[in-house]
Structure 1
Amino acid sequence: MSISTPAAHSPLDQKILEHFPGLVVRKDLTTELKQNAVVPTYVLEYLLGQHCATDDPEQIQDGLESVRRILAKHYVHRNQAELVKSTIKDRGSHKVIDKLTVSFNEKAGFHEVEFTNLGIKKVPIDDSYVKRFPKLLVGGIWAITDVEYELPVDPKASPWQIAGLKPIQVAGVSFEDFLEARSQFTTDEWMDVLMQSVGFNPEPFTRRGKLLTLIRLIPFCERNYNLMELGPKGTGKSHVYAEFSPHGMLISGSEVTAPKLFVSNANGKIGLVGYWDCICFDEFAGKDKKVDKTLVDIMKNYMANRTFSRGIEQLSAEASMVFMGNTQKSVAYMLKHSHFYEPLPDKYIDSAFLDRIHAFNPGWEVQPVRHELFCTGYGFVVDYIAEVLKHLRTEDFTGLYKQHFEISSEVSTRDQTGFEKTFSGLMKIIHPDGKATPDEIGELLEFAMECRRRVREQILRIDATFKANDFDYKPLTGGAAVRVQTPEEKQYPQFANLRPGLVDSSGGSDPAVDEQAATTTEPTTGTQVASQPSATSVSAGSELKEHHLVVPENSKGWSYRRIFGDYVQGCSGIIIKDPYIRAFHQIRNLVEFLRMVNELTPQGDEVSVHLVTGADSDAPEKFERQMENLNQVKDSFAETATPFSFEFDASPNFHARSITTNHGWKISLDRGLDIFQWFESSALNAATNLQEARLTKGCEVSFIRVEKED
């Protein structure tokens, strides 16, 4: 298969190729190869960097064929493991690309290696390899290995032998050459280079969007840096830690134990923190996850002091910690009813643990990963930039802002340490020579302070002993102090200052809070900010009654809000039963109903909507399309005030259509939500944007009182 070559390189691509020859690769090549080989990105780009680090189309095509041949011949697919073993046996020796993990055989007194995909275990390995590549012992490494087969004299011995081992990583990096090449790029250009190197097309991202992405690189260049990112799924939170660097380890947050992470008191073996620069806990959120309180206590000490104990002995390490997890509620809901840490396991909702977090990256601001976001231009071979970031761990840029700005004395030491480490990391990533204009330094300082303020503001909601304080900085050249606030504080000022005494742990809010939320003075501007008004229909405020409504055929002026608005307003749960939410226009109607409910929901509250419908059984492809569309609706509304779920009812008697609220109303619908006639869908057509502009189908609606749900 031939990969098309871009018609012309962008000026940025040309500049990258000019100043970093042999160290960059077209990122779409990685994407293409990754479809056929389940290996980390840095493994593929190690090979691409050797064969495709050019802009010559013919050389790229030849290089791709070489990489494909290497992968086809030497990469071990799990389902072809027996074939590879047979090849090794027939030839006597064969190179394989696989992940190797080493353990020590205490009884026999030597090290043994396990091949992840090849499936062979207890293969003896020379101690010299273990000493040169200690990560073999913890988590394992990808390598190109010469494996030999020979029947041993001792039947208990392994017939497999290792004749050579080469880890997949760059041989060396000249940091001076890197700095010289970096100096040829403007700040904007360099941020785009880094975005492309991570694998994203920079054009769709704002400058802030780029910072929200690049902050994920700080744990690779800053020692003992603690980062948390919670947000919707599908935003690529763990991509960097799974694919970007051979110095990072991605593990499930529920799989870690104290011996695995720190040290085993049984055998004295140092855990992951002793071997990896960055450890990312994926899927860290989840109330149902079992957490060892002892582990939490050890982590608190390590995150604060870099130390952990083995008996009476104190050990230290430099691994950074990253905590990634999914949120289930909207930002406004969390601010009004709880806090941003609410999705975490209860044992981690500990103010002492959370106060060790240097930055909270707002994952809800990060764009969901879409096809058009993937880079088709040139970026660094990831292993090269990973080595550069590893070198930068030896640098300290925490105080570079002090020649231009001073921090308010009210800011606590731990807060200052937190944002200084974030500032240092961003400087290393964007300005690795330490040189930046005062405006550029101020931008990174303010972003770093914001990320630490988010940590502190949310801790104040769970621990009344913590003191609230402002995050201010002031230019040394004069001028007014800058008060740093998070975007969510500015967007939802009525919820920004809620404290533990006002938050009900059961999930409700104190009436005083709701009264306070009606109007609030924005602290930095003094502007009166009203809470989002609840949308109402024409009869809002009057007592609702049971009645029967007839919508005439071929009439206009009707909308879901006019028909249903009064009767769904004020509930917290809705069940829609309609066997025919199948075709695209029917699912579009569902989305418009969800939008209507969302608009009627007071800011900070939530109304869950559950659909019971029938499966489109006319053809398998139609059901697949129905599932795909409903799942898309579910995912897109997950972080709104109207979370959506659905199920299928296969009952042959499932015909009646209704909407039932949990505050006492059932709405019987003879046509379901499908009350509008066909119209031409166009962005310029009023009917596309206004239901009132559409012609109706004749239908009847009955409003019936039912018993309220608890």
Structure 2
Amino acid sequence: MTGGDIFAKIKRVFGDYAVDKKLLQEAVVSKLPGFVAEYLMTEFSLQYPSDWMNRLREFVKKHYFEASEKEYVKHLLVEEKRIKIIDELRIWVDLETGEHRAIIPSIGENDVRVPADIARSHPNTMITGMWGLIELEYSPETARTDQKGELLENPVMVVDFQPFQSPTSDPGILKEARREFSFEEWLDVLINTVGYNHNAYPTTERKLALLSRLLPLVEENVHLVEFGPRATGKTFIFRNASRYTRIIVGGMISPAALFYNLRSGIPGEIAVRDAVVFDEISRVRFPNPDEIVAKLKDFMESGHYERGKQKVTSGCSIVMLGNVEVEERGGVYVPVEDFTYILPQPMRDSALIDRIHGVVPGWILPKIRQASYHLSQGYGIALDYFSEAMHVMRKESLAGEVGRYLELSGAVSIRDEKAVRRMMSAFLKLLFPNLEFDKKELRVVVDFVVNMRQRVRDWLHRLSPGEFPREQMRYVIH
């Protein structure tokens, strides 16, 4: 099926839930996360059908600011007293005062005052945070002061919030639509949905490698690493396809930020996110590595951890992304660097690596050089809906269902079986949401998933050959 044919079919089957992804390459809109840009595109096209793109362009120019413009945004706030900004609103509760406070990245403040009714109306702002249009007021005269008249609380206050969120999150739309597409067509639908051009990924293996980045977003506690050359778009999906992820780019990471802040009582990122992504994992640093690595190992095994008196259970997936040196052999790229040394020193531990479910072969994916070729040139499913649908799909695992179709054999550990079942559960939700497939289609996916886990086993063998003998995983499809 040609590009034009698949785009026409997507538009016909999905109707209002189909979005022209090429519009996302518009310079102003491309600055926003994909799910935010697509929500705004849909809203503006409905409100202003004849002139929506110009209106949207002006709206984004007026209300969206880059991180480097933080001081300018604060200047505007002081000068104009009230401004509206496009940003993520995350609210926390001060238990000492019983009041609500907000984290506003655009102005670099984490204790902005918030009326309780805004928090009450938008509970997700207190769970994962929500993107929207935030109206801020600079009013030091309404903030508490001490006897000398000095401020005791932030002079900035949130006075209104309009969230950007799909009106529906029903995965049933995907189930119904899936019947209209063949397996190969559905792969292309998903690839365009997350913003890529399916023609740039001509083999099924490359398409599955690309889509495996979505596994942590549709299944709880799926822990992956992806190693590949630079510029293959390793963070693109996580940044654009879900508002429930947090990307941590290198640098120092504290236990408070990751697990739980004992002083403020604010849960860390692992407690509230669908996925925490460590980009450029080799540059990650920990102030007290023993504590963090021990907690990571505990969490990746059991789905819970403790810090102080706090016990936390979470479905968060851990994803580690790293750059690897490759060379061309027989027309394909292969890694020529030991994976172990891409990890920071404290994480070079076989017990931690064994808890990784699979290695995504990022080295088989092309570098993203030209938007006109590597990025989508037509229609896909609206990301604001797709993001919410993936989030809902996480609530029910199909790992038990996998056992009906697939049996691993050979020297397979409990961790091997758990890893394969979770990754297969995620792929079933993505590729066969109505659970309709034939053995040939299933075998293609199982082969890919088993190889993802096999790479972990081979890695462990290189690291500790005595403890992890070199053995090939086998399977039977019923």
| Aligned ranges 1:223-372 → 2 under 5 Å | 223-286=220-283, 292-311=289-308, 314-328=311-325, 330=327, 339-371=338-370, 372=373
Contact 1:200 1:374 in 2 (8 A): yes
Distance 1:267 1:193 in 2: 44
Look up the SS of the partner of 1:142 in the other structure: strand
- Kept in 2, the 8 Å contact 1:411–1:469? The answer is no
SS of residue in 2 equivalent to 1:47:
helix
Counterparts in 2 of 1:160 and 1:433: CA distance versus 1, 3 Å: same
Deviation at 1:400, TM superposition (A): 4.0
1:289 to 1:195, Cα distance in 2 relative to 1, 3 A: same
Cα offsets for 1:417-441 (capped at 9, x unmatched)? 1111111111111111122111111
Letter of the structure 2 residue corresponding to residue 398 of structure 1:
A
> Is residue 23 of structure 1 aligned with residue 17 of structure 2?
yes
What is the aligned partner in structure 1 of residue 146 from structure 2? Answer: none
Equivalent of residue 51 in structure 1, options 36, 44, 51: 44
Q: 1:84–1:9: structure 2 CA closer, same or farther, 3 Å change rule?
A: farther
User: Given that residues 234 and 368 in structure 1 are in contact (C-alpha distance below 8 angstroms), is that contact kept between their aligned partners in structure 2?
Assistant: yes
Q: Which residue of 1 aligns with 2:422?
A: 421
1:216 is aligned to 2:213: yes
**Counterpart position of 2:77:** 85
Tell me if the contact between 2:420 and 2:453 (Cα under 8 Å) persists in the aligned partners: yes
Residues 200, 373 of structure 1: 8 Å contact kept: yes
Report if the CA contact (8 A) 1:100-1:142 is conserved.
yes
Q: Which has the higher helix share?
A: 2
3-state SS, counterpart of residue 203 of structure 1: helix
Task: Give me the whole-angstrom Cα distance separating, in 2, the residues matched to 1:72 and 1:448.
Answer: 43
CA contact (8 A) 1:139 1:249 kept: no
| Residues 82 and 323 of structure 1, relative CA distance in 2, 3 Å threshold | closer
Displacement of 1:233 after TM fit?
0.9
**What's the offset of the Cα at 1:201?**
0.9
1:232/1:327 contact within 8 Å kept: yes
- The unaligned stretches of length 5 or more in structure 2 are 144-148
- Is contact 2:223–2:319 with CA below 8 Å preserved after alignment? yes
Distance in 2 between residues matched to 1:136 and 1:83, nearest whole Å = 26
Q: CA deviation at 1:177?
A: 3.0
Summarize the Cα distance change of 1:22–1:270 in structure 2 as closer, same or farther, 3 Å threshold. Answer: same
State the identity %: 27
For 2:224 and 2:109, how far apart are their aligned partners in 1? 37
Superposition pairs of residues 563-582 of structure 1, within 5 angstroms: none
Q: Tell me the distance in 2 between the aligned counterparts of 1:389 and 1:140.
A: 17
User: d(CA) in 1 for partners of 2:309 and 2:138?
Assistant: 46
Instruction: Determine the C-alpha separation between the residues in 1 that align with 2:285 and 2:159.
Output: 47
The residue matched to 1:468 in structure 2 has which SS? coil
Aligned-partner residue type, residue 290 of structure 2: K
Cα distance in 2 between the residues matched to 1:189 and 1:316: 38
Q: 1:287 to 1:462 in 2, by over 3 A?
A: farther
Find the partner of 2:184 among 165, 188, 194: 188
**Matching residue of 1:72:** 61
For 1:15 and 1:103, how far apart are their aligned partners in 2?
Answer: 44
| The 10-residue stretch of structure 1 (202-211 or 289-298) with the greater mean CA deviation from structure 2 | 289-298
1:42 matches 2:35: yes
Distance 1:151 1:419, change over 3 A: closer
2:473 corresponds to which residue?
471
Using the TM superposition, give the Cα deviation of residue 409 of structure 1 relative to its aligned residue in structure 2, in angstroms.
4.4
2:110 and 2:428 map into 1 onto residues whose CA distance is 45
For residues 266-665 of structure 1, the aligned pairs below 5 Å read: 266-286=263-283, 292-311=289-308, 314-328=311-325, 330=327, 339-371=338-370, 372-463=373-464, 464-476=466-478
Distance 1:291 1:30, change over 3 A: farther
State the Cα deviation string for residues 183-224 of structure 1 (Å, max 9, x = none).
211111111011001111101211111000000000000001
TM-score by length of 1: 0.60
State the Cα RMSD in Å.
Answer: 3.1
Residues 174 and 138 (structure 1), Cα distance of their counterparts in 2 relative to 1, 3 Å cut: closer
Q: Tell me by how many angstroms 1:268 deviates.
A: 4.2
What is the identity, as a one-letter code, of the residue corresponding to 2:77? Answer: K
Residue equivalent to 2:51: 62
Deviates more, 1:460-469 or 1:395-404: 395-404
1: distance between equivalents of 2:412 and 2:242? 35
SS in structure 2 of the partner of residue 249 of structure 1:
strand
Q: Which runs of 4+ in 1 moved over 6 A?
A: 287-291, 334-338
Rounded to whole Å, the distance in 1 between the matches of 2:178 and 2:142 is 58
Distance 1:319 1:377, change over 3 A: same
Call closer, same or farther: CA 1:122–1:342 in 2, change over 3 Å.
closer
Instruction: Indicate how the Cα distance of structure 1 residues 437 and 264 shifts in structure 2: closer, same or farther if over 3 A, else same.
Output: same
For residue 117 of structure 1, what is the aligned residue in structure 2? Answer: 106
Larger-Rg structure: 1
Letter aligned with residue 354 of structure 2: D
Do the aligned partners of residues 129 and 39 (structure 1) sit closer, same or farther apart at CA in structure 2, a change above 3 Å counting? same
Distance verdict in 2 for CA 1:37–1:432, change over 3 Å? closer
Q: Write the letter of the residue equivalent to 2:84.
A: K
Aligned pair count? 460
Instruction: Map Cα deviations across residues 104-125 of structure 1 (whole Å, 9 max, x no partner).
Output: 5566552333433256674310
1:126 aligns with 2:126: no
Separation of aligned partners in 2, 1:270 and 1:105: 13
Change beyond 3 A, Cα 1:258–1:158 = closer
Q: Which has the higher contact order (CA 8 A, sep 6+)?
A: 2
Residue pair 1:145, 1:165 contacting (<8 A) in 2 also: yes
Following superposition, the deviation at residue 298 of structure 1 comes to 0.6
TM-score (normalised: structure 2)? 0.86
Letter in 1 for 2:432: H
Q: Report if aligned partners of 1:141, 1:167 keep a CA contact under 8 Å in 2.
A: yes
Amino acid at match of 2:414: T
Pick the aligned partner of 1:99 from 88, 104, 110: 88
The answer on whether the counterparts of 1:427 and 1:434 sit within 8 Å (CA) in structure 2 is: yes
C-alpha contact 2:274 2:315 (8 A) present in aligned 1: yes
CA distance in 2, matches of 1:408, 1:121: 52
Measure how far apart 1:245 and its partner are: 0.8
Q: 1:13 aligns with which of 1, 7, 11?
A: 7
Give me the whole-angstrom Cα distance separating, in 1, the residues matched to 2:83 and 2:337: 58
State the alpha-carbon separation in 1 of the partners of residues 288 and 470 from structure 2.
29
Secondary structure, counterpart of 1:215 in structure 2: helix
Match for 2:472: what amino acid? D
- How far apart, in 2, do the equivalents of 1:13 and 1:41 lie? 19
Q: How does 1:131-142 map to 2 (within 5 A)?
A: 133=122, 136=125, 140-142=129-131
Q: CA 1:185 to 1:163, structure 2 compared with 1: closer, same or farther past 3 Å?
A: same
Which position in structure 1 is the counterpart of 2:141? 152
User: Among residues 132, 155, 175, which one is paired with 1:143 in the alignment?
Assistant: 132
Query: Within 1, Cα distance between the matches of 2:247 and 2:120?
Result: 23
